[in-house]
Structure 1
Amino acid sequence: MSDKKPNYFMQSVAETLDQLGVESCSGLSQAKALQIKEEIGPNRLQAKKKKPVYKILLSQLQDWLIYVLLAAVIITLFMGEYIDSVIITLVILINAGIGTFQEVKAGKAIDALLKMSSPKALVKRDGQTKEIDSAELVPGDLVILDAGRVIPADLRLIETVNLQIEESSLTGESLPVHKNAEASFDNTKMPIAEMANMCFMSTVVTAGRGAGVVVETGMNTEVGKIADLLDTNVHQKTPLEKKLSELGKTLGKIAVAICIIIFGISWIQGRDPAEMFLISVSLAVASIPEGLAAIVAVVLSIGVTAMSKKNAIIRKLPAVETLGSVNIICSDKTGTLTLNKMTVTEVYTSEGPILIQAANKNILSESVRILTEGMILCSDATLENEEATGDPTEIALLVLGDKMKIDRTDLLEKNQRVGEYPFDSNRKMMSVLIKSGTDFTVYTKGALGSLYHVAEFIFDQGEIRSITAKDKQNFSDAARKMSNNALRTLALAYKSASSDMTSDEMEEGLVLVGLVGMIDPARDEVKPSIQLAKQAGIKTIIITGDHKNTAFAIAKNLKVADSIEQVLTGPELEELSEAELAEKVENYRVFARVSPQHKVQIVQALQAKGNIVSMTGDGVNDGPSLTVADIGVAMGITGTDVAKNAADMILTDDNFSTIVVAIEQGRNIFNNIKKSVIFLLTCNLGEVLVMFVTLSLGWPVPLIATQLLWINLLTDSLPAIALGMDGDDSDVMQEKPRDAKESFFSQGAGIHVVLGGILIGLITILAFWYGFYELGYSPFDKQIPEEVVKNARTLTFLVLVCSQLFYSFGLRNSKKPFYKFKIFSNKFLNGAIALGLFLQLSLLFIPFLRNAFRLHMPDLNGWLMALALGLIPLIMLEISKIFLKKRK
């Protein structure tokens, strides 16, 4: 067998068989098949060698934030703070565990493809037909096809009889494709969906029969190429992961710098090196928000739980934040924007058009009755109790009968099919001979143009008369109008017949009755969802395997596209270079007749323009694009396992509007995370400033190591998490999508952290000074009694904790003053603040704890000073909001 791999769809049947060295009458010999299998391997999709779980776990630890946390573990162990060390270690392990689980889960996309591709195959070898495992197939094997069979490999068809194959999971086509073994093509860039003489692995035979010769197996098949795309695309970090990584690097550097500077200052001042080393490392711990990773994980987990109740299941936690940055939703048409269910929406007879949405028994005229009954009798589909089998087009005709109040069971009992002239792609029609009592009738359905050649009469106003040019013009105009609205048309004719009529005689002298128009309709909820997304600055783009006109008609109906110039087809896309596509991609709103590779190209071109892209889909063909998109969204009901495992999010209701709900939730979750980050960094900056300024001035140490760690424990946990659990902001969808490159410190957040930290630091330094002043001392004094230092540290301790806890109230909304939102609606924050104050007071009122933390019971002035100074940062924050609001 030659090593050359030609485009088999361009060859004739004889050329293909000769190329593969096989006889159509006998097939390959068993010995030859085994020899080929030894050379090329089994017909099975092969996933690349998986990374061991321990390596995945180690890769989760290779992050700057994790490095900083590990440093904090070492520091706290050195200080003997074993409980804190255990907590930080647990945070590291939990986050690494979550990341490992998600990465292992994502690898199941390939496993789903493997399961899809191992059906049984009916083959002819050594002149005998036998059923074998599809893994045993090799190029050159002759495969027999019949209805219900899964195609076991890529085949060049050598025989077809009314063969129809469902390829929607591979090509995006909403209808089964009619296959013709005798077809040949000369276009080397022929789309898969138009290769009528080929069929592909994992697609399904829905009607007819045929035979084909295997031309590609395993990873060389079209579905194999998709598996390869899934397996080789590198997962990109989400914006949240990148931001946390950058923040971790910054904090790590700051922590190291603080240790060096403080220790250096202490050395110059002549302080005790051992004591100052302990203070330095304590301050390093204070400057690192070690609860950040845990807080982000908790907030994301809470968000995921809330989203699951709204029919959106998140498979990868960081994807929740990415949703808030999405500015383009690329959606597959079939089954995502549409119902994936052909529906007759209009019929036309000589009496004129009738819209089926308004149809009822009262409009069932004689011509409409004959049209509907004829279509039912020409159907091989079944429909009972909403369970359907067969061609979706024929199922739609049965549904039409139900809408017209026709008793299909009674109709079929009284009319028996006794003859048939099957459909073929040359005639483009099929005929059945029906016996009713002693009468015989022929019903023929097919393309209107084909019926013109065999129809000599027309049914008009209850009478049969000769058809005229005007009649044909009227029917053609009606068909054209339907086609312009993306309706697929099907015509019906009939005539009285005899029992011994030949096939050719069945299609002579027919009476044209009418025309039906059908479509895979858009979901009712899609249009308002697209408009809501548009208001939020999110553009919807349709990417489909369907024909250009059909895709545009749906897009126009949904107000996604305005003109046909906004549609680009797969073949047209291939004419563009990568640079040209990147330049022009945002001009298009619809991409039609595209392959899986095209979808990936489109998503990558949009990303190259700085867009954050969400891709929705449900089929095998959507897997690669779901993987490469920033957010891959799979349909939970109609979606394949491949699509679900490749996606970041799964819609359990297959509802496009759920995507918009998820985006709103994603925006709110990011805002909540941002609140927590700002709160943590503001508080930690205040702590650092207090320590740095007082030590630089030569004052006594304002907070000892245990006090610093207690403050961190109190403010880096419950209040920060509670802020992350804040309720949804109703105004969030009035804003444009957040720039994915935007840091946590954009839009004034950085200034907020600096000014808030400085303010908390300054009032705490003031409290420290007042603790000396109140008892008649100055922090500059050389000899200060221990009780005076305790008093100053106690006020410092109280003011720092109170100011941070109260400050968290104002951070619930960065723009609205507290009286503009329900201040007590966040019960978690209220509880965190109350618990924080209770624990803080417990240290003072329980003698054992007061002594352990070296505190002093304040007098009335001390308590009033702590309360007054503690409220100042919150008051200043609220004043700044009012000022900025009036300024805008």
Structure 2
Amino acid sequence: MKDTKWYTQTLEEVSTRVDVVNGLTTSQVMESREKFGENKLVEAKRRSFFLRLLDQFKDVTIVILIIAAVINVQFGEAVDSIVILAIVALNAVIGMVQEDKADKSLKALQDMSTPTAKVIRDGKEQAVNSHDIVVGDLIILDAGDLVAADIRITKSNSLTVQEASLTGESVPVEKHADYVCAEDAVLGDRKNMAYSSGMVSYGRGQGIVTAVGMDTEVGKIAQLLNETKNEPTPLQMQLNQLGKVLGIGAIIACGIILLVGVLNNHDPLEMFLTAVSLAVAVVPESLPAVATIVLALGVQRLVERHAIVRNLPSVETLGSASVICSDKTGTLTQNVMTVMEYWTEGDVKELAQGMLLCNDSRKNNGAWVGDPTETALSVWAETLDMPATELLTQHVRINEVPFDSTRKRMSTINVIDGVKTVLVKGGVDEVLNVVKYMEVDGKVVPITSEYIQEIQEKNKEMGSKALRVLALAKKVVEDENIEAAEIESELVFVGLAGMIDPPRPEVVDAIRTSKNAGIKVVMITGDHAITAEAIGREIGLLEEGQLVITGKELDAMDDDELFNQVEHIGVYARVSPEHKMRIISAWKKHGHIVAMTGDGVNDAPALKRADIGAAMGIVGTEVAKGAADMVLTDDNFATVVVAIEEGRRIKDNIKKAIAYLLSCNVGELLVLLIAILFDWPAPLIPIHILWINLVTDSLPALALGVDGAEEGIMDRKPETSKSLINKGMMWRIAYQGVLIGGATLFAYMYGSGMLWEAGDVETGQTMAFITLGFSQLIHSYSIHSSEKSVFTSFWKNKYLLLATLVNAAMMLAVLFIPAVNDLFKLGTLDLHHWEIVVGIMFIPLAVVEIMKLIKLNGKH
């Protein structure tokens, strides 16, 4: 029974299979529940705490740090081990907290079920818990009811159902019991079905339950959410790759140093300690903590800018986004039907008043409630400075002919200024069918064919803009107690009103900014193609040559065809959740980082499948919020663009921290490697290296992580590299590391007497220690920008200034506190040596500035 395509069957065929009058008997209810199950959604099995904890230690960098910490403990370097393990623990705690958002999607889906529903069983109407509904139940639907299961309509009286959360269609859908759908009809076109999570916005009806629980369309979405796996973010993959490279590099470098040292007859234990300290130096242990803290600070900034991010790496993922797949209704548009155009030969206020009075919407707590089309007309009247509520009270309705889908008209008789006036509102053709007169200079005269043609041209003009057009006609009567046919006859035409769910005002600028940033924006909606295309063109989303296709056309494509076409399609209309998944997958196969925005139940699987899912916080369903990585608290598409800018800033800053840490580490590696190759006494002993790493790696790198956004950050294309380090960055790390290492070696050679007659190893080590530590601190200012001079940005980062002062004090404490100085086996320098050291430590900065100037002049 549940596999039957009920929407393809006639009402007579349905009636032969189930009792559409008396409903199920008690025994049939029990049988159905046993056969098809309860009307509940199955929750995904939650992974154990232990497995989720293990996930926090999978990154290669974390594994290397743990190994380094264990080795350090074995050789008495407990302080450094404690620092490393504290960083690892911090990452694990933050990761666990973020993952505890878990997967709330299915619970949210369950929460959408109505607590009770009206059913007919054993010929009697009764209220039951929505979970107790079974396949075959006869359900009663009234205005305001949430649909508790999938239902084949068997009775309909002006029944309309709002299905935006499931199909994405912006206006309620008329439902007809006697309608028969084609077998390939998409959800939004099945006018004889009502689906779980829909809401009855108008009229009344009855229907047979065709599916419950996981077999409903909402249940299928729940299954999609279960099957969609969380993939690692680009940043996680890039950091992992970097960790592998650094790990291999550390092993090779340590092996070379250990081998050369032993061959040169150095103490094997001393060389092993040097190699281990170098391993810790090569792998920047502060990088995971810096990345985590920078991401967390970015999350806080985004909260202030109306975006709540639920997963730290997702912030950076936004910065890499190259495609935004956006829902239309409620995301690009306001999700509020609004009168955009009107046409009348008379007074516009007469047209608006007639639309207001021939209307069932009412004001409740300051807001208009009812059918979205009718509330739009009421709001329009108020925008014309008309006292809408007073007019409804003054001009009493004394008779009416309700709207029905056959006539497609609604009629009322109101007393307007003491005169009994018929008002008829409906589709343009349907109203013109009962119009006989028009008004010219205040006089009623027979309507002309030219006037009718003018009306139809205006209707066509509005329709080409995807406006939903309604017409109004009127006449005066003596007696309100007349037949419906007499009410709707010999009417005087008044005018037309066209409405649409309009774009959000800020969307045009947001899309323009996205395009400047090299980000493609694609509309994916359940609405009609004409409406979607009109909105797409109005907001500047559709470009010349881009295609608009429907769900049916998408079904006709296999995955290879979609892959070949996806970059040329700007708008998808009348699509299902499965379609959205295919579209996102096709973009991802092209190597794009895909962001998806949405608010409905139908958006949830795609939000989860995308690299970054952004749900609307105000109008968004709990399902969408539960599946998303980010929730927009202002439902503003422009906030997505703001979040992308923040993501780019964060990625830039993480790369600055990496460039700083690795260039410093290259300098350290170079110092030790050259000294060992030339069989020199060690320029730095292990405690020197560990202290410099502790001092220079943490605070400056973290301060670089909060740098402001670079100018023109949204005028460049998204980065497509799968590595955090591109060729340009690799070159800068290499030559800057050589500068730092070279300056340190020069200081050592000068102090130890290799370049000067007077000197000793202790003085050389002291000069090398000072030069390496302070040149790294000074070098942090060169990292602000790969192009702009340090002199233009020196004061822009107050945190970097503070970090430099704190770390400089820590370095000086080692030099000038006697007990600490003795622990580090350092000497004291005279004024001459200090002059040499101060001069040398600024050499890397000076050379980097010259290189920036050469690069800038080369561009011009």
TM class by shorter-chain length? over 0.9
Q: Which residue of 2 aligns with 1:178?
A: 174
Is 1:25–2:21 an aligned residue pair?
yes
TM superposition shift of 1:419: 2.7
Q: Which residue of 2 aligns with 1:124?
A: 120
Q: Which residue of 2 aligns with 1:863?
A: 834
The 2-side partners of 1:834 and 1:414 are apart by 76
TM superposition shift of 1:439: 4.7
TM superposition shift of 1:829: 1.0
Is 1:873–2:844 an aligned residue pair?
yes
Q: Which residue of 2 aligns with 1:883?
A: 854
Is the partner of 1:856 in helix, strand or coil?
A: coil
TM superposition shift of 1:661: 1.9
Gap change, CA 1:104 and 1:16, over 3 Å in 2 = farther
TM superposition shift of 1:442: 2.3
Gap change, CA 1:865 and 1:199, over 3 Å in 2 = same
Q: Which residue of 1 aligns with 2:73?
A: 77
Q: Which residue of 2 aligns with 1:133?
A: 129
Per-residue CA deviations over 1:426-484 (Å, capped at 9, x if unaligned) read 21112223346875332211111111222222233322221222121111001000111
Amino acid at match of 2:565: K
- Of the three residues 42, 46, 64, the one matched with 2:42 is 46
Per-residue CA deviations over 1:840-869 (Å, capped at 9, x if unaligned) read 111111101001111101112221221121
Q: Which residue of 1 aligns with 2:615?
A: 634
- Written as runs of structure 1 = structure 2, the 5 A alignment for 1:63-74 is 63-74=59-70
Q: Which residue of 2 aligns with 1:357?
A: none
Gap change, CA 1:564 and 1:857, over 3 Å in 2 = closer
The answer to whether the 8 Å contact 2:752/2:765 transfers is no
Is the partner of 2:631 in helix, strand or coil?
A: strand
Amino acid at match of 1:818: V
Amino acid at match of 1:800: L
The answer to whether the 8 Å contact 1:53/1:100 transfers is no
- Of the three residues 840, 844, 848, the one matched with 2:811 is 840
Amino acid at match of 1:282: S
Is 1:793–2:765 an aligned residue pair?
yes
Q: Which residue of 2 aligns with 1:16?
A: 14
Amino acid at match of 1:100: M
Q: Which residue of 1 aligns with 2:138?
A: 142
TM superposition shift of 1:749: 0.5
Amino acid at match of 2:777: L
Is 1:816–2:788 an aligned residue pair?
yes
- Of the three residues 594, 601, 606, the one matched with 2:575 is 594
- Written as runs of structure 1 = structure 2, the 5 A alignment for 1:557-596 is 557-562=538-543, 566-596=547-577
Q: Which residue of 2 aligns with 1:615?
A: 596
TM superposition shift of 1:97: 2.5
TM superposition shift of 1:696: 2.2
- Of the three residues 427, 431, 434, the one matched with 1:454 is 434
Is 1:852–2:852 an aligned residue pair?
no
The 1-side partners of 2:43 and 2:812 are apart by 60
TM superposition shift of 1:17: 4.0
The 2-side partners of 1:311 and 1:730 are apart by 23
The 1-side partners of 2:487 and 2:545 are apart by 42
Amino acid at match of 1:301: A
The 1-side partners of 2:395 and 2:518 are apart by 58
Is 1:321–2:316 an aligned residue pair?
yes
The 1-side partners of 2:267 and 2:289 are apart by 36
Q: Which residue of 2 aligns with 1:404?
A: 384
TM superposition shift of 1:145: 0.6
The answer to whether the 8 Å contact 1:336/1:656 transfers is yes
Is the partner of 1:253 in helix, strand or coil?
A: helix
Amino acid at match of 2:375: I
Identity rate, percent: 43
Gap change, CA 1:342 and 1:776, over 3 Å in 2 = closer
Is the partner of 1:160 in helix, strand or coil?
A: strand
Q: Which residue of 2 aligns with 1:284?
A: 279
Gap change, CA 1:403 and 1:279, over 3 Å in 2 = closer
Amino acid at match of 1:383: K
The 2-side partners of 1:462 and 1:191 are apart by 49
Unaligned runs of 5+ residues in structure 1 are 352-364, 779-786
Is the partner of 1:734 in helix, strand or coil?
A: coil
Amino acid at match of 1:159: K
Amino acid at match of 1:791: T
Q: Which residue of 2 aligns with 1:248?
A: 243
Amino acid at match of 1:769: M
Is the partner of 1:732 in helix, strand or coil?
A: coil
Gap change, CA 1:436 and 1:311, over 3 Å in 2 = closer
Indicate the larger mover: 679-688 or 729-738: 729-738
TM superposition shift of 1:201: 0.4
Unaligned runs of 5+ residues in structure 2 are none
The 2-side partners of 1:788 and 1:35 are apart by 96
Per-residue CA deviations over 1:697-752 (Å, capped at 9, x if unaligned) read 2222222221111011011101111111112212212212221x242221410011
The 2-side partners of 1:73 and 1:36 are apart by 62
Per-residue CA deviations over 1:530-561 (Å, capped at 9, x if unaligned) read 11222222222221111111111111111222
- Of the three residues 203, 208, 211, the one matched with 2:206 is 211
The answer to whether the 8 Å contact 1:44/1:118 transfers is no
Per-residue CA deviations over 1:215-251 (Å, capped at 9, x if unaligned) read 0111111111111112211222221111100011111
Gap change, CA 1:147 and 1:118, over 3 Å in 2 = closer
- Of the three residues 202, 206, 228, the one matched with 1:233 is 228
TM superposition shift of 1:169: 0.9
- RMSD (Å), alpha carbons: 1.9
Gap change, CA 1:385 and 1:151, over 3 Å in 2 = closer
Q: Which residue of 2 aligns with 1:472?
A: 452
Amino acid at match of 2:122: D
The 2-side partners of 1:636 and 1:824 are apart by 38
The answer to whether the 8 Å contact 2:753/2:760 transfers is no
Indicate the larger mover: 114-123 or 162-171: 114-123
- Of the three residues 155, 159, 163, the one matched with 1:159 is 155
The 1-side partners of 2:125 and 2:76 are apart by 78
The 2-side partners of 1:876 and 1:404 are apart by 68
Q: Which residue of 2 aligns with 1:354?
A: none
Per-residue CA deviations over 1:166-190 (Å, capped at 9, x if unaligned) read 11111111111111111112x2221
- Of the three residues 731, 739, 756, the one matched with 1:759 is 739
Is the partner of 1:164 in helix, strand or coil?
A: strand
TM superposition shift of 1:308: 1.8
Per-residue CA deviations over 1:99-128 (Å, capped at 9, x if unaligned) read 233333141122211211243111111111
Is the partner of 2:842 in helix, strand or coil?
A: helix
TM superposition shift of 1:777: 7.0
The answer to whether the 8 Å contact 1:155/1:212 transfers is yes
The 2-side partners of 1:72 and 1:536 are apart by 41
Is the partner of 1:149 in helix, strand or coil?
A: coil
Q: Which residue of 2 aligns with 1:356?
A: none
The 1-side partners of 2:215 and 2:36 are apart by 11
Per-residue CA deviations over 1:484-503 (Å, capped at 9, x if unaligned) read 11211001122233232122
The 1-side partners of 2:690 and 2:161 are apart by 68
Q: Which residue of 1 aligns with 2:645?
A: 664
The answer to whether the 8 Å contact 1:255/1:288 transfers is yes
The answer to whether the 8 Å contact 1:45/1:117 transfers is no
The 2-side partners of 1:875 and 1:409 are apart by 75
The answer to whether the 8 Å contact 1:767/1:795 transfers is yes
The answer to whether the 8 Å contact 2:749/2:755 transfers is no
Amino acid at match of 2:13: E
Gap change, CA 1:860 and 1:494, over 3 Å in 2 = same
Q: Which residue of 2 aligns with 1:426?
A: 406
Is 1:343–2:338 an aligned residue pair?
yes
Q: Which residue of 1 aligns with 2:799?
A: 828
Q: Which residue of 1 aligns with 2:110?
A: 114
Amino acid at match of 1:528: D
TM superposition shift of 1:632: 1.4
Amino acid at match of 2:797: N
TM superposition shift of 1:412: 2.3
The 2-side partners of 1:601 and 1:17 are apart by 38
Q: Which residue of 2 aligns with 1:97?
A: 93
The 2-side partners of 1:695 and 1:395 are apart by 82
TM superposition shift of 1:214: 0.4
- Of the three residues 395, 403, 406, the one matched with 2:375 is 395
Gap change, CA 1:791 and 1:515, over 3 Å in 2 = same
